[in-house]
């Protein structure tokens, strides 16, 4: 599962994306872009997602692994 899909799934277990956006004080469009894969996870957003029960270390580990996979594809065709 991709990071953005994981974030969306975990949030939607608890509340809607718009409710989550309000709770962590970001715009709904910002959270929607993250969950849709149109924006990357930043340290600031990871810290905010902690308030929703997501572990920032796990999120960045997932992001790291995705980045490694992308580089491997570039290098290995």
Q: What is the mean pLDDT of the chain?
A: 96
Report the alpha-carbon distance of residue 4 to residue 32 in Å, rounded.
10
Q: What is the pLDDT of residue 77?
A: 81
CATH (residue range 3-76): 1.10.260
Tell me if 4 sits within 8 A of 34, measured CB to CB: yes
Report the alpha-carbon distance of residue 77 to residue 74 in Å, rounded.
5
Q: pLDDT tier at 73 (50, 70, 90 boundaries)?
A: very high
Domain boundaries in the chain? 3-76
Report the alpha-carbon distance of residue 58 to residue 13 in Å, rounded.
18
Mean pLDDT over 29-40 rounds to 96
pTM of the full predicted structure? 0.91
């Amino acid at each position: 599962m991709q990071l953005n899909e994981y974030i969306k799934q975990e949030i939607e277990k608890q509340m809607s994306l718009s409710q989550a956006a309000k709770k962590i004080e970001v715009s709904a469009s910002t959270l929607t872009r993250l969950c849709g894969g149109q924006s990357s996870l930043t340290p600031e957003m990871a810290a905010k997602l902690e308030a929703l029960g997501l572990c920032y270390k796990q999120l960045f580990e997932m992001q790291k692994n995705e980045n490694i996979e992308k580089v491997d594809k570039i290098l290995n065709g």
